Every structure is written in C-alpha cells, then in structure tokens.
Amino acid sequence: MRKLREVMRLGLQCQLGYREIARSCSISHSTVSEYLARAKVRGLSYEGVEKMDDEALKRVLKAECSPKEERAHPDWEWVHQELKKKGVTLQLLWEEYKAIHPEGYQPSQFYEYYHRWKKKLSVSLRQTHKAGEKLFVDYAGHTIPIHDPHTGKVREAQIFVAVLGASNYTYAEASWDQSLPNWILSHVRAFEYFGGVARMVVPDNLKSGVSKACWYEPDINPTYHDLAVHYGTVIMPSRVRKPKDKAKVEVGVQVVERWILASLRNRTFFSLPEVNGAIAQLLIKLNQRPFKKLKGSRLLLFETMERPELLALPSSRYELAEWKKARVNIDYHIEVKGHYYSVPYRLVQEEVEVRYTGTTVEIFHRGNRVASHKRDTRPSCHTTQRDHMPKSHQHYLEWSPSRIIRWAGTVGEATAKVVETILNSRRHPEQGYRSCLGILRLGKHYSSERLEAACGRAVALGGFTYKSIRSILERGLEREPLAARRLQPRSSHENIRGGTYYGQLSDGEFGQEEERPC
C-alpha cells in the first residue's frame, strides 16, 4: 500500500506523468494509469486519500468502476488491412476513426485494443508487410519424383516457392535442381505470374543467390544482382539460421507442401512440364481458398490491394547472364567456355570480369565495359576484333612471332618447325601464342632433348598441336622408331601363323581345314 499511496501523491498532488511515476515507483505505467483513472472516476483528491486507512483505500481503488458509456469499436480487420497499404499508420487510422466517432477511444487505447486483437491472428499474419513491398522466396524441403518413361529411372524435382508479403499470394513451380540458372529463371517466371515486381526480394542464403552470407554486407551473386537491376528491385537476404526473417515463405512452403505436394503424392509424373501443369491447377485453388480468421482470400487481397502497388515489369524479359573472373593472357584474349575472346591489348595480365549470355559476351575492367562480342560456342577458336590488336607488340610486351620461333630454335629444328607451322596456320599469329608457349614449357618437365625428339615425330606424323606432342611425351613414343611398332607382332603363339604361312600353300590347299588344338 505504500507504493499505492506514493502513486496517488505523485499523480494527484505533484501532477507527474504516468511514466515518470512508474520509474519513480518501479511499477508499470499501465498500472499507474489504471489506479489514477479509478481515483479520477471516484473524484478522489490527495487530501482525501491521506485521511483513508489502507483497507478503505484498497476497497475504493480496487473495486470495479461503474459501467462506462459504451464506445464505438473500430473494425479491427479493416484497420489491419489498411495498415498494409503504403504510408498508412495507426495514427492516421485513429484520426479517421475519431473524426467519425468523437466520443471514441483515445490513441493509447486505440493502439492497445488493436494489438490485443492482432495477437489472436495466426503466426503467418502477425507481421505487417506493406503492399508491394516484399517478395519472399525459397525452396521447399519436399520434392516430387519424376519417372523417365524410357529408362524407368526416378529423378527428384525441386519446388520453388514465392510469397508476396501483404496478400500471401503464392507462386510455386518445379525445376530439376537449385542451380543458378534455375534459381534465376524461377524468379523471372514468378514476376510474370504476379504481373509485377515487389520492391524487395527476401531470399534465404542459398549459394545460388548469396555468395557469402552476412547480415550487414551480404555478397550477392553477380547474376542475381543483375536480375535485381533489370527488374528494379533490391535483394535483402535473411540472416543465417533465422527463419523468422522470412516467416512468410516458411509458412508458404508449408502451405504448398500440404495443399499441393500432398495432393499430388499418389500421381506418377513423367516430365517436368506435366508436374508444373498440375501445380498450376492447384495454385488456383490455393489462392482462392478463403482465410480462416480474415475475410476474403489470397487472390482477393492480391487483386484489390497488392497488384496496384507492384512495380511494372520491364519491356523485355531478363536474359540469363552468368559472370566469371578472368586474367588476360599475353595474346590479349580471355577464355569463356572453351572459346577465346579478345580485349584491348593494354589489359594484358589484368584481371577482368566477364558477363556472358546465350548471345553476347561482355568484358568489364574496374566496372567499365572494355569489350563486347557475339557469343561463339566453337571450342578452341578465337574471336578477335582488329581494334584490340596492338600496332606494335614492343609497346606493351616483348613477345612476337619471330621471338617465339627463335626461342623454339634453341631447342631444335623440329621444335622450330612445329612452332612456325602453328603460327602460320592462324589468321592472326597471336592466336597461336598460347599453344606455342605450352609446347615450349613441356621442355621444362621432360627436357629439351625429349621435346625435340617428340617434335620430330610430330612433324613426320603431321601432328602440329600441343595435345599431340604432350601425348607423345607422356607415352614415351619419341624413343621408338616410326615403323617398329607396326612390323613386330605383339606376341608369339602356335596359333598365330603369320603372313608367310599363306604364301607356302598351293591353290588346292586353300579351303582345307587343318586340325589345330583349341
């Protein structure tokens, strides 16, 4: 009772605020508010409180207050849905409510009653997400088996799930794996399914999307970042082992597993398009299914609230682009999937970034694009632009065709012959530098004498390639005469007659069977 009397003193006599009284008395401000409100209803003053003993004060303050005038209650479900709209706050909604009901609740009561109502909702709807703000994406833990109709083998298909934050509108599809191309293309199809793009995409820390997980500065995969730039959105990965950061998609995955994958458990599929066709039909039912604790459905909320807030799709569909790092060789070319593309010769030995799609190859140095080529899938071939070639190799490097031939001549005539033939066979001699240097470096491993012998054998056989000469050295063929291996039989046996046997037979003897032991 001592604290109760102190509350009365500070509130009725000193006129302090609720929170100041709460800090002074080490109790909650809601308790202070309740007791002072009861004292005000009963018209108590501090002088009157001082005259009461503890029992009388306790009876007065802890007794139920007289019934209050019934106040108009807001439609809390409407308030909850309005909060999902961009820029809408509880303060704004209270002001609108107060304008219609002047005798209604004050702000603190309005907020308190709303939060009490909100706690009654399911976990998946507790978080407040603005319409068009976030798209949550992840893979389901369950898979769908697909049978090969020819071999009978079974392959498990992965299930990609995307859920919009405000409406819970859901998209799902099957893909063969969780590789980067499938991850990116699933996003593209999800955006097209929604007919727009959320301002923020929240993925898990999957390697396809996040190269290095970090809450403060996550390292986004360059291709994934390229997708975000194309669609004007932002990638915001969730924290590692923090599923509540993406609770929407966690629940969305659970819903997909229960209402879609479970429904398909007894069906046998023979192709990926067949699976996605079945998923698409069940997605319609899922998004039209009414909520249990709210009015409407995912589809209704999406059409009325979320779709208008999504960013518009760009005019062109995103083309899958992969990135890699490469170092420019002395022939001012870089390698991409077995093909060689030129860059300006000034970038020899520099590290560059390469962005390549199905049609183009772009090369960047320190963020600036320095070269662009049409994609060529021919292996071991070169794509060279004339303006990338130096007017004089001495300006940037001492290498030249004549110097490489002279270096090969120090090994031997056959080696020089091989190098000269390779350089002459290329449209631009620089395109043969890589092969020639590889051949000359074989001499460090196998000795110059063996390299010269291998090159002599290669000249005789017409094998003017690095792979041919390396094969000769690996198998030790440079020590053997060219004809020796063809004339000598591999082994001797009484059943092996040899070429002279048939020359000793007369014409009549051909066709007679000779009994020989098995």
Going from the C-alpha of 289 to that of each of 255, 263, 277, 295, 308, the distances in angstroms are 11, 15, 19, 11, 21
Q: Percent of the chain having pLDDT more than 70?
A: 82
Q: What is the pLDDT of residue 99?
A: 85
**Which two structure tokens, joined as six digits, stand for 442?**
């074989």
Residue-wise pLDDT tens digits, 314-327: 999 988 888 889 99
The 10 Å Cβ neighbour count of residue 128 is 13
Q: What is the pLDDT of residue 515?
A: 41
Q: Return the half-sphere exposure (C-beta side, CA atoms, 13 A cut-off) of residue 268.
A: 6
Residue-wise pLDDT tens digits, 207-239: 554 544 443 334 567 888 888 889 999 888 765
Give, rounded to a whole angstrom, the gap between the first and last alpha carbons of the chain.
Answer: 117
Residue whose structure tokens are 């049978």:
147
Measured distance CA(251)–CA(244) in Å, rounded: 10
User: What are the beta bridge partners of residue 327?
Assistant: 351
Architecture of domain 134-309: 2-Layer Sandwich (3.30)
User: pLDDT at residue 373 above 90?
Assistant: yes
Task: Note if the pTM is more than 0.75.
Answer: no
User: pLDDT at residue 125 above 50?
Assistant: no
φ, ψ of residue 369 to 5 degrees: the values are -75, 125
Q: What is the pLDDT of residue 506?
A: 45
Residue-wise pLDDT tens digits, 453-502: 999 999 988 888 999 999 999 988 888 887 644 444 455 556 666 655 55
Q: What is the pLDDT of residue 501?
A: 55
Q: Where are the domains of the chain?
A: 2-62, 76-120, 134-309, 322-389, 398-483
Residue-wise pLDDT tens digits, 78-99: 888 888 776 788 888 888 888 8
